[in-house]
Structure 1
Amino acid sequence: MARQPGARTQVAFAFESVYGTPPASGYRRMPFATTTLGSEQGLLSPELLGYGRDPQAPIRDAVNVDGDVVIPMDAENLGFWLKAIFGQPTTTGTTPRTHTFQSGGFTLPSMAIETQMPDVPRFAMYSGLVADRIQWQSQRSGLLTATVGLIGRGETVAATTAAGVLTDATLPLQRFGNFQGSITRNGAALGNIVWAQVSYANNLDRIETIRNDGLLEGLDPSMAALTGSIEARFADLTLVNQAIAGDPCELVFAWSLGANASLTFTVHAAYLPRPRIPINGPQGVQATFEWQAARATSPARMCTAVLVNTTTSY
């Protein structure tokens, strides 16, 4: 009996043309670190009386398909996940290509993802997946990864793959590192930042209609949310004064591997709360700002992600 090591697992990824219907071909091997994507079906405890103290058999509840995928922040493959979060980008240029993703879109693509465990064997195809959120952290050292939260419709498990031969399609893995990142506020470098976190959520609305298969009818995006945290060494009153005044600022999180590979994530209107500034000992004083973003006046959106690479289109 074979035991499945994580090192021999793969994730096959493809966008769907029809919601909930996995395509027959065109799957891509996607780099990932961990995944909790799966299908769950709970049991309902019976409420009936008159049969003594021992309960009757439980009843099966609805099927829920969801989970997280931890991915590397890289110059090429990240574009597929940004498309899942924001929708179809606008692509310009030749070499390099510039892919611009904008918040606020009402149309989000659905995906089919197969988790492959060939040694068991177990090939689980998840259909009707829509990206609910993405989150990442920036700091001085360590690997730069993002967590993508997915909500899906169904799961089909088989002993052989339904994705066929996977393609990597000339997409080399070019990872961004924390040391290649920068943060600016209103166009000027924001210093003394020791840790930052960004989280964008589509806040998907599950359409839970009555069906004899227990699956979701669909997923609709509701009001989006863009939040984050900035932990700063207390060196000046720039951020504190902005928080007291209640004025928004533009925050830009950027990474670059050169002219042909970069990622710029712009929060057009970030509002900072007035923070508590504790003194915890003889070390440097630090303040944490739990900011929230809103739709800006110009441009009339909450955020923009610009990915520069050599990929023709997403």
Structure 2
Amino acid sequence: MQLTSLLRRLVLNNGAKMPRIGVGTYLLLGDQCQEVIERAIAIGYRHIDTAWSYENEKAIGSTIHDIEHRGNIGRKQLYITSKLGRTFFHPRDVKYAVEESLDNLQTTYLDMYLIHSPWGMKNHGDGNRKPLKEDGTYDCEAYDLNATWRAMEEAVKDGHVKSIGLSNFTTKQIQMIVDNGKIVPQNVQFECHAYYQQNSLRKFCSDYNIVCTAYSPLGAPGIPDSHQAKSHNKDLQLLEDDIVITIATKYNRSPAQILLRFLLEKNLAVIPKTSSLQRLEENICVFDFELEKEDVTLLESLDRGLRFFMFEHYKDHPYFPNKNEFF
């Protein structure tokens, strides 16, 4: 891919444009979240990725409001993605969920709104983001996802949401939404990195002109233990892979920059998460070089089907994928 052809935005199937690189905010809370968002926007990030379940929409909204108030950046210059909480999958709850996120983020619309996963949870009416059963396991619920999607389409019709999509869905589940909905998903978000390249899923989305977003594009170095498989080797770190380090040395770049550039050249959007202001700036400096074909081939050879996010606390959900279809 020629350097000049890698534009900073991807065109969605509804004509809207999504910045190729965004700020992932999972696990960023309070003052730390505000500091990261403030710095990110100052150095050129325009895409902010959050979710109701992250519990940081208010911190992000407050920061963006302050930035707008100072006249530095206007709302139309930003691209905000949020996600439908798993307890709000019933169609009657989607409108409320959208309005709550809009209120938290202090905005009148979301650029992108995703169903966070196919694995819904019972709504106990108490605002609990992770309701539990008496035995301490998640209180899951199998909602009609086609009905949830129709309610998402209504949010677009009402003007509260510009584009809608899915997160952590299998190809079979995406196909179901495509076959039954009026709007083809504009975006599908999933774990994707050099160790887990998701070739089949990316090809499937490409066939429907669905833009893909890679979360954990650096291999999830800060992933909580609760999300990992018990058998996972914690010493296996993508950022420390010998091939990645060798290529980074060749280009005088960081391993993170090589891994991000690799996915960008695969036509994905990426949302790396970091609490380091130095790495935040480093991660966005990926548009002024390109990888040679031989290095792309080396990075492609790293694919080992390794997921870091196992979501084992949802494993008993009827919509949870088997090992052959994840995602």
Please say whether Structure 1 and Structure 2 have the same fold, judged by a TM-score greater than 0.5: no
Work out which of the two has the higher radius of gyration on C-alpha atoms and give 1 or 2.
Answer: 1
Higher strand share: 1
Higher helix share: 2
